[in-house]
A and B are shown apart, each in its own frame.
Chain A
Amino acid sequence: MYKFILKRLIMMIPVLLGVVFIIFSMMYLTPGSPEDMILGENATEEDKQQLREELGLDEPFLVQFGTYIFDIVTKGDFGTSYTNGRPVTEEILQRFPTTALLAALSMLVALCIGIPLGILAATKQYSIFDHFATTVSLFGISVPNFWLGMMLIIVFSVHLGILPPSGFYGAEYWILPAITVGSGAAANIMRTTRSTMLEVIRQDYIRCIRAKGQTEGKTIWGHALRNALIPIITVVGIQCGVLLGGTVLVETVFAIPGLGKLMVDSIKAKNYPMVQGGVLFIALVFCVINLLVDLLYAYIDPRIKSQYQAKKRPK
């Protein structure tokens, strides 16, 4: 098992290198020169030249890329912000906890809504509740989350005045953003839960468990749900990525000073090291989440676990 984790961690390295390469080359090809951004338009040509040498911008592409990777690996250094000269790493680490909390709360909302509703819809297939839940979930995956956020602000902050529209000072400030970001994930999780549960509750072993005299509740929420978890967890993993991306827009709506807001501001300010660092950091987090999802598979399904263990043995 540990060998499997190690192997997966090693496999992550080329993927992350590839991500760095793609993002780095994209930013490299971007029109507009960093020296203009940093020094302003009135700087002299000598100053610009000096800065270019300082930043290593005169070097060929591959050397610049190599230096960038080297700094990340050895110093955890993602470069320096053009706008305020602070290290990108520092800025990201300062902002990320806020985004992580928002993402975690949203996922919590999504799980608490998506899984129970999916199960109920499946056990009452074709009922009014099922039709209602299915339709709502369809709207849930169709609504742009930044718009949903603004509509929630109009209803709950502007008209009802019961929840704050923006900022982050206490628990009540998290409610609307978490619902906004979580709604799409909730709808996706609900749809997967429903379709998987529909399949599982038709299986022979569920009938067997009923024949043992097990209560309906434990049959569905214990046995059936556990068997349905693999596809559900897959979707949860994918939704984690969507959710992290979604925070970029929603943090802007609610003026939450997280990583997403930082990136949007950086894009507007053409502060590319920041954008680059932010995308890389989120990709890294997403990779770790995917690894965790794979490990969860083994924990949930003994068949997958024995596959992993079989791979471990020398042939």
Chain B
Amino acid sequence: MQIKRKRVQAVPDRQDDILSLKKSSQALEIWGRLVRNKTAMVGLIILVVLILTAIFADYIAPYGYDDQVLDDNFIPPCAEHIFGTDNFGRDIFSRVVYGSRISLQVGLISMGFAVIVGCIVGSIAGYYSGVVDNIIMRIVDIMLAIPSILLAISIAAALGPGLRNVMIAIGIGSVPQFSRIVRASILTVKEQEYIEASRATGASDLRIIVSHILPNCIAPIIVQTTLGVGNAILNAAGLSFIGLGVQPPIPEWGAMLSAARQYIRDYWWMLTFPGLAIMLTVFALNVLGDGLRDALDPRLKS
């Protein structure tokens, strides 16, 4: 009895194996191309270090992010405070370390939101061309007519300051771009014969979109998301800088820069390190995004 059941299952099992083998070999090939790209690997390593920093911030940071020692304010970088201290005597290195949590959180959540909404909106527009497409794309055009940082500023101004509102503002501001990219890729994939074929077998629209169309336009979405996270971090820092973002004492990098601005003449370290942290993070994401684009579409690079 047992043996018999095993045999019956053997066939579909093996098919699954072959299928997953095929998928994994493609992923391996892309991974191989990415690994060979040295600059992209630098970006990936920076990013991994950053994520680890964010996760283990409690262990890495020598002080708490809001430990004020007023007697120790404005200490230049030294052995004890390698990035120096700020006007409240807080350790800037610790604040930068904790700040990585905020920035990554803003970047990932706002882009996650933008990707999900953008995929839904873009899929609907691309798949059901005609009136629906027209209405959606006109709305997208309208949103794109406002420079993205301004759109984020307006939304943040309307919602009021705070971490959550920053993420919403930046997320909404990025939806139009994603909708556009998803729609464009769907339009190119839609006419392919395998879509026709699955339609002929009676698959539902949702099933066709989710299991056939989206996987085939995933490459531009991945690339755009990587670059988008970087942009989101930049914009979030900008919002905090003009007082619309994360509020003190939360150690957001942009907010740290905003607070440090009035000490620009005398205490350079207060400005330098949070800014460097932003630049390095965004740089890593941009480099990785470029590398992913080349790895996912080798035709582009010749």
Query: Is A in direct contact with B (CB under 8 Å) within the complex?
Result: yes
CB pair B271–A154 under 8 Å, yes or no, is yes
CB pair A19–B257 under 8 Å, yes or no, is no
CB pair A144–B275 under 8 Å, yes or no, is yes
Residues A259-306 near B (CB distance < 8 A): 263-264, 267-268, 272, 275, 279, 282-283, 286-287, 290
Write the chain B residue with the least CB distance to A25. B158
Question: Is B265 interfacial (CB-CB < 8 Å)?
Answer: yes
Q: Contacting B146 at CB < 8 Å: which of A151, A165, A272, A283?
A: A283
Nearest Cβ on chain A to B54's Cβ, whole angstroms: 18
Tell me the total A-B contact number using a CB cutoff of 8 A. 141
Write the chain B residue with the least CB distance to A21. B142
CB pair B142–A22 under 8 Å, yes or no, is yes
Residues of A with C-beta under 8 A to B279 = 139, 142-144, 147
CB pair B142–A151 under 8 Å, yes or no, is no
Q: Which segment of B84-92, B111-119, B148-156, B206-214 sits at the interface?
A: B148-156
CB pair A275–B145 under 8 Å, yes or no, is no
When chains A and B are docked, how far (Å) is the Cα of A246 from the Cα of B237? 13
When chains A and B are docked, how far (Å) is the Cα of A139 from the Cα of B287? 9
Residues of A with C-beta under 8 A to B290 = 138
Nearest Cβ on chain A to B235's Cβ, whole angstroms: 9
Question: Is A252 interfacial (CB-CB < 8 Å)?
Answer: yes
Residues B9-32 near A (CB distance < 8 A): none
Q: Contacting B142 at CB < 8 Å: which of A19, A29, A253?
A: A19
Question: Is A248 interfacial (CB-CB < 8 Å)?
Answer: yes
Residues B198-251 near A (CB distance < 8 A): 230, 234, 237-238, 241-244
Question: Is B139 interfacial (CB-CB < 8 Å)?
Answer: yes
Question: Is A9 interfacial (CB-CB < 8 Å)?
Answer: no
Residues A148-162 near B (CB distance < 8 A): 148, 150-151, 153-154, 158
Given contacts A146-B238, A150-B264, A267-B243, 4 further A-B contacts (CB under 8 A): A150-B261, A150-B275, A245-B153, A268-B243
A-B complex: 7 closest residue pairs judged by Cβ atoms: A18-B142, A147-B275, A245-B147, A245-B149, A142-B283, A142-B282, A241-B147
* 26 CB-based A-B contacts, threshold 8 Å: A15-B142, A15-B145, A16-B145, A18-B138, A19-B142, A26-B158, A30-B160, A138-B290, A141-B286, A144-B254, A144-B279, A146-B238, A147-B237, A147-B257, A147-B279, A245-B147, A245-B150, A248-B149, A249-B238, A275-B157, A279-B150, A282-B146, A282-B147, A283-B145, A286-B147, A290-B145
